[in-house]
Homo-oligomer: A and B are copies of this chain.
């Protein structure tokens, strides 16, 4: 099945999220959203931006990733207690995590079924279900 994600120019996304489309945010948004689903750390995105001639500081990359996540443009994936990974795919889905290369690979939401979900502890509601399949070189 081919998923067509509603195309949305990055500028629209930013303004819709209430974020001023500054030069840095536009450049980072293009890197994140204009080439399919991506999984990046702040350091990786910063390197890529700088490599593409975008002048942006690492601090701004961190702030931008956090703002994008808070606005729902990105999703944070907890796989490693050392660093944060940000996922440009915000739809329901899961991940393979290659422990050798430290790379994430999407698993579409309906490729995995989590059944018999126990009910949340008293006084709590379910906020999300993360499935991470850890793999390593065979």
Contact = CB atoms under 8 A, between A and B. Distances in A.
A79 interface: yes
Interface in A87-136: 96, 98-99, 105, 107, 111-118, 120-121, 123-136
A8 interface: no
A137 interface: yes
A24 interface: no
A100 to B, nearest CB: 8
B112 A138 contact: no
A54 interface: no
6 contacts: A96-B124, A107-B118, A113-B116, A121-B135, A123-B138, A128-B133
